[in-house]
Amino acid sequence: MGSGMSSNAIRGPDSETALRVKALESLLLEKGLIETAAIDELIELFENRLGPWNGAKVVARAWTDPDYKTRLLQDGTAAIAEMGFEAVQGEEMVVVENTADVHNIVVCTLCSCFPWATLGLPPVWYKSAPYRARTASDPRGVLREFGTEISEDTKVRVWDSNAELRYMVLPERPAGTERLDETALAELVTRDSMIGVSKVARPD
């Protein structure tokens, strides 16, 4: 899933960790232990496909099965486990629903706590200092940087994740998807929509 965003303060390269990773990568490459294409593929797999695909399946199920949706919003941990996705370290999962009235966005202001069970690895920008600081103070501004306009009538709610509690957004099901089955719906759901920085686009 290409985000298509230009680089800006939030999406800029990550600090020290990124440098350390780069250094390690260069070393492994130099020693001929790995190929750069293989690394890129792995990162892309965990960041954009393998991880978020679990969450996308949870969302599509909630969109098509009202009882499941009720369970998911009441007890995210159990409903997600029902689909076979377990927290890595026993973190609790809380799912918050986007509606016409409320838009939810997830952050970890302290570090980078992320719902691994459903979304895989956090994107670099999620861990960046500007995202962490500004999502708390100016969520609408951050949303705008992701190209997401939220109407003034819609309340924006920020959820601060931590080691024990991991939030995930249940995005709004877009119009024009009435005929799609669960698998086709899951394919529309992006990682960013489950963090709450974007909406799920209607299919073209």
Q: Which is nearer to Fe ion, 60 or 112 (CB)?
A: 112
**Using rule CB under 5 A, residue 111 touches Fe ion:** yes
CB of 163 to Fe ion, least distance (A): 7
**Using rule CB under 5 A, residue 195 touches Fe ion:** no
Residue that the structure tokens 């390269």 belong to: 13
Among the listed ranges 29-37, 107-115, 117-125, 127-135, the one in contact with Fe ion (CB under 5 A) is: 107-115
**Using rule CB under 5 A, residue 108 touches Fe ion:** yes
List the one residue from 80, 107, 113, 195 that touches Fe ion (CB under 5 A): 113
Catalytic residues: 108, 111-113
Question: Per residue in 68-106, is it b (16+ CB within 10 Å) or e — as a string?
Answer: bbebbeebbbebbeebebebeeebebbbbebeeeebbbb
Q: How many residues bind Fe ion (CB under 5 A)?
A: 5
**Using rule CB under 5 A, residue 107 touches Fe ion:** no
**Using rule CB under 5 A, residue 58 touches Fe ion:** no
Burial class (CB in 10 A: 0-12, 13-18, 19+), 34: middle
Among the listed ranges 52-60, 109-117, 167-175, 193-201, the one in contact with Fe ion (CB under 5 A) is: 109-117
CB of 196 to Fe ion, least distance (A): 16
Residues forming contacts to Fe ion in the complex (CB under 5 A) are 108, 110-113
